[in-house]
Each structure stands twice: as structure tokens, then as C-alpha cells.
Amino acid sequence: MVTYDRGATTSNGSGTSGARWLRCWLPRPAASLRLICLPHAGGGAATYRPWAGLLPPGIELHAVQYPGREDRFTDPMVDTMDELVAHIADAVTPLTDPADRRYALFGHSMGSAVAWELAHEMRRRGAPAPLRLCVSGRVAPTRARPGRVHLRDDDGLCAELGRLGGTHSEVLADTDMRRAILPCVRNDYRLIETHRPAARDPLDCPVEIFTGDADPEFGPDQAGPWGELTTGGSRVHVFPGGHFYLGPARRDVVRTLVARLDPSLAHSAGPWPSTP
């Protein structure tokens, strides 16, 4: 794993229940920091469940559960970024009281754009800024290009999932599984491919940028524009693997993340969880 710094930039500019939108598998009332994680397109909160047992006792994990998948399979999906972020902000706001605990955001792929938008929405609401914004596997929202994957037929959509390597071929070949997963995948692709971020002043929290060295979507050479979206500086962390490097490199990713969130907690990371 390779890590390097990017300098800080300067700028002249200065009703939803958390129980529905957030999953916390290992509550830690004494933790000093909450880590809020946002999944990729088509992904659910369970993507981050193995992280809970790898984090030290000082960090409590909350993963966002988008509607239309896992235990929210029957919930109507959200069609726009603004609506999605508003719902998540409603759920997250009670977790961001500075008198209680600090918080940080981590998003992978589509989740990176959602996390960035969420940081802006929290600022608009007058909430504390995240300790750090951690983004993974996606270009900066200001550099993202419109896409047409969501307009493909089911075979074309499966071809894209196969290219990225995040879905087993057996799943994509199973008619019932395709019928279950493709609607939310298509909805998420539509949401992110039609997202046009508004022009806003940079954030002031540090940005941690994570990527796989063989990711066909986002490589280390594309990380620079993320640093332009904050005055708090940024750092790039490169791991072996493709777009879904987070699975094979999970231990190293969590270890690096903890060290950047709070070095005093880094030595106390827990054992591998006994449950999936």
C-alpha cells in the first residue's frame, strides 16, 4: 500500500428514522468517534458489516442502508441525489452532536459522491463538519461525466457489473437473482449518472482518497481533483486491486483509515469478527 500527501488548497469563498436508514451491528456507547459508511451503486449496508469487528473500541460503525435492497427490499427507491442525501442527513444529524461524539464519512464509488454531498448538506444545516471525508473508487463529482449505463438492457447492465468485478458471475447468470438486484443497480446508476452537482465553496475538512492500483474507473492519477474540493488538504492511499479492492484489502484499508481518523486508536484495532 502506498500513501502520499497532497497540500491544502485555499479559497476566497467561504421524518426519516435512523432505524430505517442506518445499521449499527456493534454498538459502542463509550466510543469517541462514529464512522458513517455509504455503499456503492447496487450495494447495501452489509458491505461494511465485516468492518465492525476490525475497528477499535473507540470507533462505532454506522452503515447507510439505501432503500430497495437487503432488509429494505420492498421500500421505494429514491430517484435523485438531493432526495437521497436529505433522507440520510435526517438520519445522521442526531449522531453529529459535538457534545456527544465526532463523526467521519466514508463512501465507495457512488457512495463517495453521496458522502461529499452529505458533507455539504450537513454544513448547510449548521451541523458540525465531519472529522474527515473519506472517498474511494470514484472521480471527484466536479469531474464526473454523464453516463448511459442505466439505459442499457439487462445484459448490458450485467456486462458492466462483470467488468468492475464486484458481482459473481453465478449471480449474474441466475434469472431470479438478476430480477432481484438489477432494479436497484439500474436506479443507482441512473441517480449517479444524471447527478449534476451545484457549484459551492470548498469543504474545510481533510479528504482521504482511497483507490485500487488496478481500478479501471479511478486510479491514483485521477485523485488530484478531490483535493481541490477542500481547504483542509488531502491524502491518497493506494491498495492492490481493482474497483472492489475493499474486499481483499479490508484489513489494510481499515488499519489505514483508523490511523488517519485518530492515530491514538490505531494500536487497538480488534480481531477479525467471528460472524460475517
Place of cell 465485516: 50
- Phi (first) and psi of residue 247, to 5 degrees: -70, -65
57: which 3 cell numbers? Answer: 473500541
Cα separation, 274 vs 276, whole angstroms: 7
* From 11, 14, 17, 109, the catalytic residue: 109
Beta-sheet pairing, 234-239 with 2-6: antiparallel
Cα separation, 142 vs 203, whole angstroms: 13
Nearest Cα residue to 184 out of 175, 194, 195, 192: 192
- Ramachandran class of 229: left when φ > 0, alpha when ψ lies in -120 to 50, beta otherwise: alpha
Q: Is 11 designated active site?
A: no
State the catalytic residues. Answer: 109
